[in-house]
Amino acid sequence: MACVLTSEVATVLAIMRRNVRWSGGRYAGDELDHPLIAGLKSLRRAVATWDPSRWGDVEPLLYLRPFLDLVRSDEAGAPTTGAALSSLHKILSLDLVGPDAPNVADAMSAVVEAVTGCRFEVTDLASEEAVLARVLQVLLACVRARAAPALSNRHVCDIVSTCFRVVQQAGTKGELLQRISRQTMHEVVRCVFARLPDIDATAVEDQQIAGSKQQGFSASKMWNGNDSACLSSSKDEVGGKSGVVQDKAMMELFGVPCMVEILQFLCSLLNIAEDNEVNPRMNAVDFDEDMPLFALGLINSSIELSSSYIHRHPKLLAFVQDELFRNLMQIGLSISPLILSTVSSIIFTLFYHLRQELKLQIEAFFACVILRLSQSRYGATYQQQEVALETIVEFCRQKEFMAEMYMNMDCDLQCSNVFEDLVNMLSKSAFSVEITLSPLNVLSLDGLLAVIQAIADRTGNSPQHRQQTVEEMREYFPFWPLKCENINDPDQWVRFVNQQKSIKRKLMVGVEHFNTDKQKGFEYLQGAHLLPEKLDPPNVALFFRYTPGLDKNLLGDYLGNHDEFSIQVLHEFSKTFDFKELNLDAALRLFLETFRLPGESQKIQRILEAFSERYYEQSPKLFVNCDAALVLSYSVILLNTDQHNVRVKKKMTEEDFIRNNRHINGGNDLPREFLSELYYSICKNEIKTIPDQGVGCSEMSFSHWADLMFKSKRSSAYIACHSYPFLDHDMFLIMARPTIAAISVIFGNVEQEENLARCIDGFLSVSRLAAFYGLNDVLNDLVVELGKFTILWNTSYDDPATAFGEDTKARMATEALFTIATIHGDHINTGWGTIIDCILRFHKTGLIPACLFNDTADDQEPSSASLPSKISAPYPAASQVMPVSTPKKTYGLMGRFSQLLYLDTEEPKFQPTEEQLAAQRNASETIKKCQIGTIFTESKFLQADSLLNLARALIQAAGQPQKIPSSIDDEDNAVFCLELIITVALNNRDRVVLLWHDFYEHITHIVQSTVTPCNLVEKAVFGLLDIVQRLLPYKENLVDDLLRSLQLILKLDARVADAYCENITQEVTRLVRDNATHIKSQMGWQTIISLLCITARHPDASEACFEALVFIMFEGSHLSPANFVLLVEASRQFAESRLGSAERSIHALNLMAESVNCLTRWSHEIKEASGEAERMLEGINEMWLQLIQALGKMCTDQREEVRNHALLLLHKCLVVDGISVSSSVWLMSFDIVFQLLDELLDIAQTSSPKDFRNMEVSLLHAVKLLFKLFLQSLNDLSAQSSFSKLWLEVLDMMEKLIKVKVRGSRIEKLQEAITEQLKNILLVMKASGVLSKKSTSGDSSLWEATWLQVSNIAPLLHSVIFPGNDGDDAAQSIKDKLDIPAVSEGRLVSVK
């Protein structure tokens, strides 16, 4: 310490001795040395005596005073003053002045006062600059020293003022001093505000800081004479104007008061253009932006260091909220983009740390500055627009910014929709008005994407998105002053903001109604419970005051009306304004900004009366009564019209205005200064009696700002987002479509891959959010927009694969489109049409690989009999190159003939270049990445609505089928779509009911409209068969519909059916073999059997059909009451068919005959079971009768072996045991046999022996059949009333048969057989008591009729049957030999 001081004293003395003034000689009187030199020498002697161990007890002024005297002295030259300042800087930099030193505050004050009042003799320019630089060093060392807290607020302000004076003076000096002075002032301000975290907020809470209200600061110029320089401060400095309270606060230790004064001083520097009467909107060349930028840099530095702690200090916070923010907004509207950029940086810092205390200020900044300067329609330059957009984007990159804007501004009744306005502005700015895009367009997209990404990032945050239903207002309640009770509870504030947003939306609708018709507007608001059922003035006034968008013309007329209710509303309306501390003109401006002043004098009178009452109520000191305020208000309106109406040639002077307002204040005059200030304020700034309509970007006037500060005291608290997606659904719903449109515009007009990739990321983010929030319409719109870019625009090559590979934009759009379809297909509805169109374009141009998917159903193995399909090969490898051109397949005779003609003259194929090969590889790789097949194979995971729309899109894309395909391409597309439809159906077997109607209708159209064989109808038929085949085992409830659909095959055109008959048969056969157990209904079997029967007549398909029939009927394994009759008829048709051999016909007959065993079994089961046995037995009788009838038809077959075999089987079926045949069925069976015998007789008599061989044998079998049937049914029929008729018919048939002649002669064997069989029947009837002379009823007609007929057949039989008593024994003997049933208790029993 001693060494430092001794060294510094020696240095200063050495420099002083260079000057003749100090070099030697007696100074004055008895003094040998000059007092300045004597002081230094005295210090050097004293230092030697001080105890080094007690250096901290030494008072700093003892070793500082000699140096300070030199700094203050007018006699010292620049070198001497500079040396003294260097010594002071060294002492302070080494912290020799400790914070605990005695009287350290006095010492620091002395240093500051001496340095700020530094005077020295100027010798040359360089030495002067050196001294000024050292002054800055010492001042900076003062605020950096450990003893800096000992400084008072006044001295800190003096330091800043001195630094600024040096900055000003440096403007005429060298560039180095300019840089040093500015940098030093920055460091000083940083050091001052860096102390804010260490200041106890409670220590300054009670200090009253009455800051200067001056709007500008004009720093005094340094006096710089020829002989000396002075740094003494004038009255215009930091904290220069102060009152008693201010002086007391400024003498306190270094703290918040000086910081407020510094900020106020810096704000005054922002208005330097206004003080110098420079228009801030003039050209940038004419506007000196240096000083405002310097001040903004200082403000930025101070805010950066202190913003985290400003909220702890109410006075500092109040200054930031009011004066600082207002000045920043004012200077931000200047023409300089650099100033706007700096202002935006400061606001960004304030938002980041203090947004909860700056809610309405932030809203005003965006509404009145940023949104205004971001649009050219408000006169903003391109540079201003760019800076404004950069500011918005920077804010948007803060993940919580937009969410907080929505919940705090858009959901606040008294705030503008900042979120919506920013989104609309960004989306509109993305659209280019020129052909090419500008950086503004891309910048706007960055902002939108930043917001979208922030929403997307929040989707995974906990708690998850919650949708709260907003309860409708059932009755009116005062909602304007409503505030959230607890902004820290998400449940409460989410419910609150949702309710507020709902009310705000309804208010906007009410505004539209009101602007159209006031009465309808009120009615709507009352119906929505936004106004009470009985209108009252206070609530109507609140609606007028705080609802944006009202027609100001209508509002002014309403407020000026003379009816009592309107007058009450007017007075309540005026009470909503706060005119405290506002001049009359400012209050009047604020009042008239809310509506248009009507033109009628009476309305103006009423409106100004209400205003005057409110103004006098809040400012009673100026006026003695309300009338004075009214008269002056009227006078101000007249002055405003006089000064700003171009038709008024002679303008009112200041004296005229003052003279017009004499004696209006209760007979006294108002202060002349007050009236003069009012006059010039009106002349300079017009009161707009026709305010701007709507809720656009208005300018921030002083009155407007005063109203904002009034509202800020009553506004609801700012709600922090905390990264939770509580309101993201509503936000995304608002911005989704504008964002899609903006991304589409940018994507369509840029070519750089980086920008394209950003657009694709935006598309994917929007799709992810749309799916997350279930906004299917948004996702579909996105798909449609994205699909537009998959169209190939590059036509430089004929090969579409090459063109697609070279089109980066198309490839990126394609990948994004199919990524969305694969991931978010659940939420795509109408968008499937776009996706299918894209797939078809790629298919048509050959870009779709041969294989989109393997097998269509994951539980079925591929079958050789599966439907034909092009999709049979795996994906091509990435290294494989698609063919340059694929020749079209030629159809028809002439086409193939032309191919042969030009086969030898075919030109060699064009060899692609390396660039084309690379493009083709790119195309192949892109299609592979799209995984198009996954869309259809994984369609089983789609939601029902999406799946249905996918199927319908495929059907629509396939087009309407035509009788004859118009082109190969159209048919190819239709076939391809049909393949995809089938794939979707097979992969959704559990939900095939959903698709079935549309699918069946599509297949029906194809089948009914096609008259020639083609790929489309082939795919339709076999695809239908494959679907039925695969779905039958799993869809019991759909079996009938599936099988019914196969009836379409029966409707095929004959040419089409003939072409595919064999394959159809194979598919039907496979279906029967695999699914016979699943076919239950008669309709299903009828469809299957109909298909088998139709193909039975086709030579190539008949055998396969018969195999299917054998499979069904073999041993009755698949016979059922539902298919019995159908299968019997089908067997008959196969037996009747000549396409097969006789053996196959006999086989078919055997199948028919064996089926009777099923009837027997079913009959037995029915008898054992309870229930509707009688009705079921009737069904069995009906089936048995159908079997008999079918066999009877085959008994007339031309082929002898078939005919005779049929007769034998018929005989077998007629006498089968176990079937309870009713009497009526027996009678019908006789009709069948009688008809058969008639047909056989006719054939025997009329047909050629070559056509029907050995008819005698067939007749013989038929006769035995008749007799056997009669004996079998005798027991059941003998008691019936119709028995006599039946018996006589049998006898008639015998008579006809015995007399028949074949080729001119009777058949002896037939006669013998008839006689013998008749005798046996008579004996049985006699033994059974059926035939006797007198029956039990006494009726002998049967006896007589019988013998009358028998006498014509065999006259001798009567004596044989009834010879006497022996006749009975003979009859019984015959009966025993023939095993004829006897009558016993009404049942047939065997006679042993």
- Residues serving a catalytic function are 600
Query: How far apart (Å, rounded) are the C-alpha atoms in residues 474 and 476?
Result: 7
Q: How many helices (H) and strands (E) does the chain have?
A: 61, 6
Q: How far is CA 687 from CA 274, 559, 596, 691, 1109, in A?
A: 20, 19, 11, 9, 102
Query: How far apart (Å, rounded) are the C-alpha atoms in residues 1325 and 178?
Result: 149
Q: Name beta bridge partners: 1301.
A: 1306
1297 near 1265, Cβ under 8 Å?
A: no
551 closest CA partner among 699, 694, 704:
694
207 near 249, Cβ under 8 Å?
A: yes
Which pair of structure tokens corresponds to residue 125?
């320019």
Region for 1115 from its dihedrals, namely left if φ exceeds 0, alpha if ψ lies in -120 to 50, beta otherwise = left
Q: Is the peptide bond before 463 cis (omega within 30 degrees of 0)?
A: yes
Q: What is the DSSP string of 991-1034?
A: GHHHHHHHHHHHHHHHHHH--S--HHHHHHHHHHHHHHHHHTTT
Query: How far apart (Å, rounded) are the C-alpha atoms in residues 757 and 755?
Result: 5
Query: How far apart (Å, rounded) are the C-alpha atoms in residues 661 and 670?
Result: 8
110 near 64, Cβ under 8 Å?
A: yes
Q: How far is CA 795 from CA 791, 800, 802, 804, 877, in A?
A: 11, 8, 9, 9, 26
Q: At what angle do helices 1283-1299 and 1341-1353 cross, to 10 degrees?
A: 10
Centre a 10 Å sphere on the Cβ of residue 68 and count the other Cβ atoms it contains.
21
Q: At what angle do helices 1142-1168 and 1102-1113 cross, to 10 degrees?
A: 30
Query: How far apart (Å, rounded) are the C-alpha atoms in residues 252 and 242?
Result: 14
Amino acid in position 1384: S
SS3 1383: strand
Centre a 10 Å sphere on the Cβ of residue 282 and count the other Cβ atoms it contains.
12
φ, ψ of residue 1247 in degrees (nearest 5): -90, 155
Positions of E strands within 876-1030: none
Which residues in 1204-1243 are b (16+ Cβ under 10 Å) and which e?
bbbbbbbbebbebeebebeeebbbbbbebbbebbeebbeb
1097 near 1103, Cβ under 8 Å?
A: no
Q: What is the DSSP string of 394-461?
A: HHHTSTTHHHHHIIIIIT-TTS--HHHHHHHHHHHHTS-SSSS--HHHHHHHHHHHHHHHHHHHHTTS
1025 near 977, Cβ under 8 Å?
A: no
Query: How far apart (Å, rounded) are the C-alpha atoms in residues 440 and 434?
Result: 12
SS3 22: helix
SS3 120: strand
Amino acid in position 20: V
Query: How far apart (Å, rounded) are the C-alpha atoms in residues 501 and 1044?
Result: 56
Which pair of structure tokens corresponds to residue 190?
């940083």
Q: How far is CA 1254 from CA 901, 1190, 1197, in A?
A: 64, 22, 12
